[in-house]
Amino acid sequence: MDVARGGQEGGRPKKRTGTSKYDFFKVKVWLGENMDHYYVLSRFLICRMLTVTKIPYIKAVKIALETKKYLVDNNLQDVTQTELENVLFSIIRAKGFDEQYIDCYRMVTQFYQQRQPLCIIICGTAWTGEPSSGEIWQQSSRPGSTHQ
C-alpha cells in the first residue's frame, strides 16, 4: 500500500488512539451574565451528559467530537454557555434526535448547576434487594455515593 494514500508502512494496521487533534485546543466556556467564571470544554463531559440523556454512547462520542471540531474550526476558543448549547443542539438535531433529548439535556445541566443533594434510599427485607441496589448504585456513578 502507498503510505501517502493512508496505507501503513510494513503492513501493520494503524494504531488507534482515544485522542483527536482537536483535544489539543482549549475552548473556554464562560458562565454567567458577567462572564465571571469559565471552564475548559471537555469532550468527555459532553459525552457523559449526552449518555445521561439516553443518547447511545457511540453517537454521544461523535456528537461531542463534532461540537469541539466545529468550535475549533471556526476559531471559537471563547464561547458562552448559550453559544455552546446552540452549537450542540444543532448537531444533536442534525443527527436525528428530537427535542425530547434536548429538553432532557437542559434538565440534567440545570440539576448539576443547582448542585442540590439527591438522596436515594432503597429498602427491603433481608437478602431480597441486594443485587438490585448494587446495580442501581453502580449505574448512578455519582461521586459521594455510598453502598452498604
Average pLDDT of the chain?
80
Q: What's the confidence (pLDDT) of residue 111?
A: 79
Q: Are strands 78-80 and 28-31 parallel, antiparallel or unpaired?
A: parallel
Q: 40 phi and psi, to 5 degrees? A: -90, 125
Closest CA to 104 of 64, 53, 61: 53
Q: Hey, which residues does 39 pair with through a beta bridge?
A: 29
C-alpha cell at 90: 444543532
pLDDT, position 84:
94
- Give domain limits for the chain: 21-114
Q: Which residue has the higher pLDDT, 69 or 15?
A: 69
* Residue type present at position 97: F
pLDDT digits (tens, 9 = 90+) for 42-90: 999 899 999 999 999 999 999 999 999 999 999 999 999 999 999 999 9
More confident residue, 131 or 43: 43
CB-based contacts of 66-74 (< 8 A; 24+ apart in sequence): 66/91, 67/43, 67/91, 68/20, 68/22, 68/23, 68/25, 68/27, 68/41, 68/43, 69/20, 69/22, 71/27, 71/41, 72/22, 72/25, 72/27
Rg of the chain over all Cα atoms, to the nearest angstrom = 20
pLDDT at 112: 76
Distance between CA atoms of residues 42 and 66, nearest Å: 12
> Sign of the C-alpha dihedral, residues 86, 91, 43, 46?
positive
pTM above 0.75, yes or no: no
